[in-house]
């Protein structure tokens, strides 16, 4: 991560264009957390034409359900969860201006198409590096769906959150390109 | 007959789940460091360094090494000379899980109904409990907090005798390649061969809890473990799926007699944390 690009949230369309698959980044600013149950609720509101509890324009969603924080900690261990479960709900959020997602693992072609059409980027954080990643979370507050416990939407303020661009807005996919580089017969 | 208070079972289960969630096994840490040495992808090396650092932080600070502290899976070998007093076995195990997940600041990930309500039970119970009655007057526990990033990549194939070892290799390797980055590689691959569909899956899960450099006692299965591991590591998936030469740390096969008409093969994948802990009462 030594040659990492520093980016701040919210992210603009210009920033999205400059981010390429393979770039290491350090993210600073506010991001939202959200995973399965929160995505389901957001989509139910969108379908009903109702207002969302968060404004998505230029925002980044981190797919995470953190562990509880020990006393004295801002945030419990908080590594990424597997992203494909959010795929059915994602294009609708991108259409509303979501610019970045942080997770781990594969995405559907429908999500990638939506990212290319509207300009959004998918970052991977290292799965299982939860205790390490939590150190970059400087503030944490539940802002919606508190009843969902670990699945509630939190607003984090992060400093130098380490991630890698795995799918960029041109549809380049690091998971595909890098594994073929190291494949042996 | 040895009398064993149920409270001791709760205490043991609590201790083991805290240990497994905070402290990566020495065998796993050694395997991760070896993996970092031999990984040729620079990104892969960076990922492995982050994982090693993460596990050291978690262990020192006694916090969960992964936020997905899993469903609580418990294997118990109960000696038939044991008489449990002051409570029932299942409730005692669940009490231990409740205490560990509450007092250890571990995430509660269990929902009460799988399809309709999906309401968090807020205690991480019920545990998934497998019991076996064995000779003796003790109880041996193996606990494994099982995260679902990797659990969701499980697969079962009802192969036939004609498929042979090649069929087994193909199915296991295909399953791991299809899972790609999702189960947090480098992973530990549990494989169950034989029995019935259900037993094959339980054997696959049990196989993920084996010490990492322990091989199957039957040299033919041990050779199969090595062959599958090599093929998986040739896939290029690499640490975190970001490309590299270390995609799995181990392939562990368990096997059991089966029916003349079949050969069930189950795959259960465990992430690089491969959390498990063992203890005897």
Contacts of residue B175, Cβ cutoff 8 Å, sequence gap at least 6: B153, B155, B267, B269
The pLDDT, as a whole number, for residue A175 is: 95
Q: Which of A35, A39, A104, A107 is catalytic?
A: A39
C-beta atoms of B236 and A181 within 8 A: yes
Tell me the mean pLDDT in the region A86-103: 97
Q: How far apart are CA B149 and CA B268, in angstroms?
A: 11
C-beta atoms of B67 and A65 within 8 A: yes
**A168-183 core/surface letters (b: 16 or more CB in 10 A; e: else):** bbeebbbbeebbeebe
C-beta atoms of B149 and A149 within 8 A: no
B195 Rama class: left (phi>0) / alpha (psi -120 to 50) / beta = left
- In tens, the pLDDT along B96-147 reads 999 999 999 999 999 999 999 999 999 999 999 999 999 999 999 999 999 9
- Residues B101 and B108: beta-carbon distance below 8 Å: yes
Q: Does A3 touch chain B (CB under 8 A)?
A: no
- Residues B205 and A143: beta-carbon distance below 8 Å: no
Contacts of residue A129, Cβ cutoff 8 Å, sequence gap at least 6: A79, B50, B51, B53, B54
Kindly tell me if the per-residue pLDDT of A1 is higher than 70: no
- As beta bridge partners, residue B270 has B188
Closest C-alpha among A150, A164, A129, A123 to residue A31: A123
A118 part of the active site: no
SS3 label, residue B261: coil
Q: How far apart are CA B204 and CA B130, in angstroms?
A: 13
CATH match of A5-182 with 3.40.50.300: no
Best residue in A24, A67, A86 for a mutation probing chain B (most B CBs within 10 Å): A67
Give the nearest chain B residue to A78 (CA atoms). Answer: B67
Scanning A77-136 for CB atoms below 8 A from B yields 77-79, 81-82, 84, 104-106, 124, 126-133, 135
Residue boundaries of the structural domains of chain A: 5-182
- In tens, the pLDDT along B9-53 reads 999 999 999 999 999 999 999 999 999 999 999 999 999 999 999
Containing H/E element for B134? Answer: strand B128-134
For A16, B89, B95, B140, the CA distances from B83, given in Å and listed in that order, are 65, 10, 19, 14
Contact list in A for residue B149 (CB cut-off 8 A) is: 81-82, 104-105, 127
pLDDT tier at A185, thresholds 50, 70, 90? confident
Q: Is the ipTM of this complex over 0.90?
A: yes
C-beta atoms of B54 and A128 within 8 A: yes
Beta strands in B51-121 (DSSP E): 71-79, 82-85
Residue B161, Cβ neighbours under 10 Å: how many? 11
The pLDDT, as a whole number, for residue A2 is: 54
Tell me the mean pLDDT in the region A112-124: 97
């Amino acid at each position: 991560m030594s040659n990492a690009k520093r980016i701040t949230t919210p992210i603009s369309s210009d920033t999205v264009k400059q981010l390429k698959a393979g770039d290491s980044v350090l993210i600073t600013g506010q991001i939202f957390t959200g995973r399965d149950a929160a995505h389901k609720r957001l989509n139910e509101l969108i379908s009903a034409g109702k207002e969302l509890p968060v404004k998505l324009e230029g925002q980044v969603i981190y797919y995470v359900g953190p562990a509880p924080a020990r006393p004295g900690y801002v945030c419990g261990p908080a590594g990424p969860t597997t992203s494909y479960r959010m795929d059915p709900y994602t294009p609708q959020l991108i259409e509303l201006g979501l610019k970045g997602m942080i997770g781990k693992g594969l995405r559907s072609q429908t999500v990638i198409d939506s990212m290319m059409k509207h300009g959004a980027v998918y970052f991977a954080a290292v799965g299982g590096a939860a205790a390490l990643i939590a150190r970059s979370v400087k503030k944490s507050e539940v802002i919606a769906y508190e009843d969902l416990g670990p699945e509630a939407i939190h607003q984090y303020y992060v400093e130098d959150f380490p991630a890698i661009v795995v799918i960029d807005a041109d549809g380049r996919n690091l998971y595909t390109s890098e594994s073929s580089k190291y494949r042996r017969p | 007959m040895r009398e064993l208070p149920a409270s001791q079972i709760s205490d043991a289960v609590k201790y083991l789940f805290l240990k497994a969630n905070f402290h990566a096994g020495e065998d796993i840490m050694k395997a991760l460091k070896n993996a970092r040495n031999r990984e040729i992808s620079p990104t892969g090396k960076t990922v492995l360094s982050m994982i090693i650092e993460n596990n050291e932080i978690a262990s020192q600070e006694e916090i969960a090494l992964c936020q997905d502290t899993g469903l609580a899976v418990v294997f118990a070998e109960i000696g038939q000379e044991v008489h449990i007093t002051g409570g029932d076995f299942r409730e005692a195990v669940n009490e231990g899980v409740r205490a560990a997940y509450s007092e250890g600041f571990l995430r509660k990930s269990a929902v009460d109904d799988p399809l309709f309500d999906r309401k968090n039970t807020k205690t991480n119970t019920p545990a998934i409990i497998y019991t076996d009655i064995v000779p003796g007057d003790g109880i041996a526990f193996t606990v494994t907090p099982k995260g679902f990033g990797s659990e969701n990549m499980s697969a079962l194939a009802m192969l036939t005798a004609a498929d042979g070892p090649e069929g087994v290799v193909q199915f296991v390797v295909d399953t791991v390649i299809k899972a790609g980055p999702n189960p947090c590689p480098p992973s530990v691959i549990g494989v169950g061969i034989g029995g019935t569909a259900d037993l094959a899956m339980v054997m696959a899960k049990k196989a993920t809890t084996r010490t990492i450099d322990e091989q199957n006692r039957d040299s033919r299965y041990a050779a199969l473990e090595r062959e599958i591991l090599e093929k998986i590591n040739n896939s290029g998936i690499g640490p975190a799926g970001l490309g590299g030469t270390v995609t799995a740390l181990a392939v562990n096969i368990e096997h059991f007699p089966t029916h003349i008409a079949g050969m069930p093969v189950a795959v259960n994948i465990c992430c690089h944390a491969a959390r498990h802990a063992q203890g005897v009462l």
